[in-house]
Amino acid sequence: MILSILLAASVLPLTFAGSLPKKSQGGPVVRLPYVTAVGSSANNVESFIGIPFAQPPVGQLRLKPPQPINTRLGTIQATGVPLACPQQGSLTIPDIPGVPIGPGNQTLPAGEDCLTLNVQRPCSANRHSRLPVIFWIYGGAFEQGATQQYDATQLINSSVVQGKEFIYVAANYRLGAFGFLPGSKVLVDGSSNLGLLDQRLALQWVADNIASFGGDPSQVTIWGQSAGSMSVMHQMALYKGDNRYKGRALFRGAIMDSGGITPADPVDCPRAEAVYDQVVKAAGCANAADSLACLRSINYTTFYNAATTLPGLGTNSAVALSYRPRPDGLVLTESTDVLVKKGQYAKVPFIIGDQEDEGTLISLIQTNITTTDQLIDYSHTFMFRDATRTQVANFINLYPDNPAAGSPFRTGDLNNLYPQYKRIAAISGDVAFSLQRRNLLQFASAVNPHTPTWSYLATYYYGTPILGTYHSSDIPVVYGLLGGELPIPTSTIQSFYLSFVKYLDPNVGVEGLPNWPQWTDGNKLMNFSATANTLIPDTFRLAASNYLAAQAPSFNL
Ligand X SMILES: *[C@@H]1O[C@H](CO)[C@@H](O)[C@H](O)[C@H]1NC(C)=O
Q: Cβ(478)–Cβ(150) under 8 Å? A: no
Contact string 124-153 vs ligand X (x = CB under 6 A)? -----------------------------x
Tell me whether residue 515 is exposed, middle or buried, using C-beta atoms within 10 angstroms of its C-beta: 0 to 12, 13 to 18, 19 or more: exposed
φ, ψ for residue 226, nearest 5 deg = 60, -125
CA geometry: angle 514, 516, 519, nearest 5 deg: 155
* Residue 19 within binding range of ligand X, rule CB under 6 A: no
Catalytic residue among 10, 40, 159, 226: 226
Q: How far is the CB of 408 from ligand X (least distance, A)?
A: 11
Residue number, 43 or 515, with CB nearest to ligand X: 43
Shortest distance (Å) from residue 326 CB to ligand X: 25
Closer residue to ligand X, CB minimum distance, 482 or 536: 536
Minimum CB distance to ligand X smaller for 33 or for 400: 400
Alpha-carbon distance of 384 to 387, in angstroms, equals: 6
CA angle 455, 457, 421 (to 5 degrees): 135
Cα–Cα distances in angstroms (integers) from residue 92 to residues 3, 280, 434, in the given order = 6, 27, 24
Q: Are 169 and 133 in contact (CB under 8 A)?
A: yes
Count residues binding ligand X (CB under 6 A).
Answer: 22
Task: Please state whether beta strands 116-122 and 74-77 pair in parallel, antiparallel, or not at all (unpaired).
Answer: unpaired
The residues facing 537 across adjacent strands are 524
Compute the least distance from the CB of residue 34 to ligand X, in Å.
31
> Distances in Å between the alpha carbon of 27 and those of 123, 126, 165, 492?
11, 14, 21, 33
28-57: contacts with ligand X (CB under 6 A): 43
CA dihedral for 371, 372, 376, 377, sign (positive or negative): negative
**Residue from the set 79, 120, 459, 499 that interacts with ligand X by CB under 6 A:** 459
Three-state SS letters, 123-142: CCCCCCCCEEEEEEECCCCC
For residue 434, indicate whether it is catalytic. Answer: no
Q: Residue 382 or 395: which CB sits closer to ligand X?
A: 382
- For ligand X, the binding residue among 29, 161, 286, 405 (CB under 6 A) is 161
Q: Which of 119, 331, 369, 549 binds ligand X (CB under 6 A)?
A: 369
Q: What's the closest the beta carbon of residue 531 comes to ligand X, in angstroms?
A: 6
CB of 458 to ligand X, least distance (A): 9
Main-chain dihedrals φ then ψ at residue 220, nearest 5 degrees: -100, 130
d(CA 420, CA 279): 34
Smallest distance, ligand X to C-beta of residue 327, A: 29
Rounded Cα–Cα distance for residues 245 and 346 (Å): 13
Could you say which of 316, 372, 391, 507 contacts ligand X (CB under 6 A)? 316
Q: How far is the CB of 299 from ligand X (least distance, A)?
A: 4
The binding track of 504-543 with respect to ligand X, each residue x by CB under 6 A or -, is: -----------------------x-x-xx-x-x-------
Say whether the peptide bond before residue 33 is cis (omega within 30 degrees of 0): no
Q: Which is nearer to ligand X, 245 or 300 (CB)?
A: 300
Show the site string, 279-308: x = touches ligand X by CB under 6 A, - = not: --------------------x-xx------
Binding-site string for ligand X from residue 396 to residue 425, where x marks contact by CB under 6 A and - marks none: ------------------------------
443-482 burial code (b ≥16 CB/10 A, e <16): bbbeebeeebbbbbbbbbbbebebbbbbbbbbbbbbbbbe
Distance from the Cα of residue 516 to its chain's centroid: 24
Q: Are strands 35-38 and 74-77 parallel, antiparallel or unpaired?
A: parallel
Least distance (Å) from ligand X to the CB of residue 112?
12
- The nearer residue to ligand X, 67 or 124, going by C-beta atoms, is 124
Q: Please check whether residue 227 is in contact with residue 145, taking contact to mean a CB–CB distance below 8 angstroms.
A: yes
Q: Which is nearer to ligand X, 236 or 280 (CB)?
A: 280
Shortest Cβ 300–ligand X spacing (Å): 7
Name the β-bridge partners of 36.
31, 75
Where b means 16+ CB within 10 Å and e means fewer, 272-299 reads: beebbebbbebbebeeeeebbebbbbbe
User: What residues are labeled active site?
Assistant: 226
Q: Which residues bind ligand X (CB under 6 A)?
A: 4, 43, 92, 105, 153-154, 157, 161, 299, 301-302, 316, 368-369, 374, 459, 527, 529, 531-532, 534, 536
